[in-house]
Structure formats: structure tokens, C-alpha cells
Amino acid sequence: MKIVHTTEIPVLWSHLDANGHVNNGVYQSYFDEARMQALESIGFSIREMRENLVGPVVMKAELNYHKALNHPESVRIETGFRDMTQIRGTVVQTMYRVSDGALVCEAFFSAIFFDFAKKRPWKIPKHYFDNLAAV
């Protein structure tokens, strides 16, 4: 799997839980943002998908936590895609602390492309698929 995109996100004070660590639910928000940036970077138009009521939907998420995240800090997320078809695929993401490069979390997201108006899977146009297949 080739890394398609790298995203850097700052940890905000409001992301912390009562123990002073980034809340585990926030990790998914970081991964969501990085995933959408990665799609944009290979030619998917998020604006166009919203206008057409289509887009990616996560069906399964697997997160493997390795290190805690605190404030102040930033994370670097590397995103790649594997086993992609015109309807589904897997997003592989790895999160690192910027300060020391430590592996924080690995994530695997099984996703489908979905037509929200028709409430069924959406077969992405060939030009989008060609962009995915090229990475």
C-alpha cells in the first residue's frame, strides 16, 4: 500500500478527557479529516459529492492504540487505500506524534461509496476510480 497523503492536525485542549489524554473518540475525528483530505488530494471533489448526495461511508473501523496523546501536541497521519473497487475498499491510516515520531495509532476502515438520495451503494465514476487505482 502506497501512502497517498499526509495530514498534520494539532491536538486541542478540548480534545482531552478527564485523564488528560486525547479522548479515544477524537482519534476517529482526526482520521476522518485526514481521509477526506486524502480523497481530495487524488482528485475527488468533496463539494461535488455533497452536491450530488453521494460519498464515502465507513462500515467498519479497527483502531489499534499504541501511545497516548496529550496537549500540546500535533499528529501526522499517513493515509493509503487498498483493495479498492468502484464501490468499496479499505482505508489504511497511521498516526504519529509530531514531537518524537512515535507511532500513536494504526487504523483500518472498511468503507463503501453511497448514494444518500437512493439509499444504496454508489458506483463511483471511472475518473475517480482511475485516480484510486493509480495510487
pLDDT tens for 16-38 read: 999 999 999 999 999 999 999 99
Q: What is the CATH number of domain 3-133?
A: 3.10.129.10
**H/E stretch holding 96:** strand 88-97
Residue 132's pLDDT band, with cuts at 50, 70 and 90, is confident
Helix, strand, coil in percent for the chain, rounding step 5: 25, 40, 35
Per-residue burial over 58-80, b = 16 or more CB atoms within 10 Å of its CB, e = otherwise: eeeeeeeeeeebeeebebbbbbb
pTM above 0.75? yes
At 2, which amino acid appears?
K
Domain coordinates of the chain in residue numbers? 3-133
- Distances in whole angstroms, Cα of residue 85 to Cα of each of 5, 55, 78: 19, 14, 21
The 10s digit of each residue's pLDDT in 46-71 is 999 999 999 999 999 999 999 999 99
- pLDDT, one tens digit per residue, over 68-114 is 999 999 999 999 999 999 999 999 999 999 999 999 999 999 999 99
